[in-house]
Amino acid sequence: MTESAAAAIARIGNPVDLLRNAQARPTIFPVTPEFSNWRSEQRAWRESVALLDQSHHMTDLFISGPDAARLLSETGVNSFATFPVDAAKQFVAVNHEGYLIGDAILFHLDDEVYDLVGWYMVLDWVQFIGETGDYDVTFERDANTLMREPGTPPTLYRYEVQGPHALALVEKLIGGPVPATKFFGMATFDIAGATVRSLRHGMAGQPGFELFGPWADGDRIRDAIVSAGEEFGLVRVGAKAYSSANLESAWVPSPLPAIFTGERSAEYLAWLPAARLGSLAGSFVSDDIEDYYLTPYDLGYGRSVAFDHDFIGRAALERHAASPQRVKVTLVWEPEDVAAAQRSLYEEGVPAKYIDFPKARYGLYQVDRVSAEDGADAGISHDVGYITGEQVFVSLASVAPEYAESGTRVVVTWGEQPHTAKPAVEPHRQVEIRATVQPAPYSRFARENYRKS
C-alpha cells in the first residue's frame, strides 16, 4: 500500500524532520550527463545553438473537459481573460493563505485541452483540487522518466533549441520563415515529414524554440535537428549543463511548496503520496515549516498575479501584496571563499560541504541562510551553481528589500548543522561564503532580452 504524505509526517512527527532527513537520492536529469563537457555545452546557448532534451525530467498533466479552463482559472493567480489555443504561460498557484505552491508552464493545446508541464508539486495541487471539487474534467498524467513505470516511454518528445543561431536553424528545418510568434506563443511546423508544435521561448536572453510532438516521432526530429545544426555549430547539451541553465534566466525551479499547513492541507496530505514530498537541504533551520514558505512576490512572480478573477488564496495574496516583500536577486559568491571551501578537501580536519559543479544543490528544496555582514538575517538562498559565460559562482536568493540593492555585501552559510541523514550529506563543517548582491538575471543581456526573444 502506498504511504500517504500525512501518514509519513505522522510517523516522523513533523514535516521539517521528515524533509530534512528524507532518503530520496539527489535529483538528476535522466539524460546523458555530458555530450562533450558541461563548460562548452553551457557556452553553446550563448555563442552558437544548443539542443537540449526535455523529454525525461518533467511531468505532463493533460487536463481536458468543459471545466478545464475554470479549474485553471480558480487555481492560478494568472489572468485567463485572454488565453487562446496555441498560447502558453507560466502558471503560478498559491494555497488558501496566499503562499506559493509552485509554478509550471501551461500550454493551451486545443479547445478544452491543456497541458501543465513542469515539477509535479503544482501539478499535484491542481489535480487534487480538480478531483475533489465540482469540475467536469479529465486528467492524464505522464510522469517524468524517474517516476514512470519502467520500460514505458514518454507521451511526448520535447526538445529545446536555444542560441543566437536558433532561428536560422529552425528556418532551415522548416524550409522557410518562421511564423511571427510572440514570447510564449505557439506555432505548428512540418519537420522531416512530421507535424511539430513549437513554443517561442528564450533562455539566458537568447532566442529559442521548444519543439514537441508524439514520442514516436522523436528520433527522426532529433536526427533532423542534429543534421541541420552542423552548419550552425550545434552543440548537444547534457544533464549537467542543462541543470544549471536556470541560473542564467533566474528561475528558481523547486521552492518548497506551502502544502503542510492551512486550509485543506490535512485533506491534501492524505491524498498525496509520500514519495512526492521531496527533500529539504541547507543551512536555514527552523522547526516551523511555515518559515520556509514563500509568496509569489519573493520569487519575482508579481508580474503574473492578476486580481481580475477569483482564485484560491486571492484575499490572502492581496494582503501579501500590500506588505513589504522579499526581492529576488543573484548572489555572486566570493571566489576566494568558494576556493577555500573546495581546498578544505585537501587539508587536515573536517572539510566543508562538498561543492559540486556546475550545480551544487543537494536537496530538492535548497534553503541556505543569508545574513548581513553584521549577522542579521537578510533572507534565503535557493539554487546555486556556476555560470561559465560569466565565470562566476552564484546562487538565486530572496532577500529583504534593504539588502536588495546591487553591490550590497552579504554572507551565505554553506552546509548543514546539525547534519541530516540525507544520502547526499557527508560529514562536513559549515562555512561562511561572502557574496555580493546583483540583479536577477545576472547577465545584462538576459535581463534586457529574456522576454523579447
Distances (CA, A) of 148 to 119, 157, 270, 320: 14, 15, 22, 38
Q: Phi first, then psi: what are they for 148, rounded to 5°?
A: -75, 155
pLDDT attached to residue 449: 55
Could you say which architecture CATH assigns to the domain 38-57+151-249? Answer: 2-Layer Sandwich (3.30)
Q: What residue ranges of the chain are covered by domains with CATH 2.40.30.110?
A: 1-22+277-292+326-453
CA distance 132 to 343: 53
CATH of 1-22+277-292+326-453, one of 2.60.40.10, 2.40.30.110, 3.40.50.410, 3.40.50.300: 2.40.30.110
- 3-class secondary-structure state, position 109: strand
Strand partners, 140: 62
pLDDT attached to residue 453: 44
Nearest Cα neighbor of 140 from 151, 121, 150, 154 is 154
Q: Per-residue b/e over 115-146, b at no fewer than 16 CB within 10 Å?
A: bbbbbbbbbbbbbbbbeeeebebebebbbbbe
Asked if 295 and 100 touch (Cβ cutoff 8 Å), the reply is: yes
CA distance 94 to 101: 5
Question: pTM value?
Answer: 0.94
Task: DSSP for 132-179, please give it.
Answer: HSS---EEEEE--TTTSPTTPPPSEEEEEEESTTHHHHHHHHHTSPPP
CA distance 30 to 50: 18
DSSP conformation class of 285 = -
pLDDT attached to residue 410: 98
> pLDDT of the chain along its 453 residues, tens only?
799 999 999 999 999 999 999 998 777 778 899 999 999 999 999 999 999 999 988 899 999 999 999 999 999 999 999 999 999 999 999 999 999 999 999 999 999 999 999 999 999 999 999 999 999 999 999 988 777 788 888 999 999 999 999 999 999 999 999 888 888 889 999 999 999 999 998 665 566 999 999 999 999 999 999 999 999 999 999 999 999 999 999 999 999 999 999 999 999 999 999 999 999 999 999 999 999 999 999 999 999 999 999 999 999 999 999 999 999 999 999 999 999 999 999 999 999 999 999 999 999 999 999 999 999 999 999 999 999 999 999 999 999 999 999 999 999 999 999 889 999 999 999 999 999 999 999 976 555 554 444
Q: What residue ranges of the chain are covered by domains with CATH 3.30.1360.120?
A: 38-57+151-249
pLDDT digits (tens, 9 = 90+) for 85-111: 999 999 999 999 999 999 999 999 999
Strand partners, 14: none
Distances (CA, A) of 74 to 108, 127, 138, 317: 16, 12, 16, 14
pLDDT digits (tens, 9 = 90+) for 348-379: 999 999 999 999 999 999 999 999 999 999 99
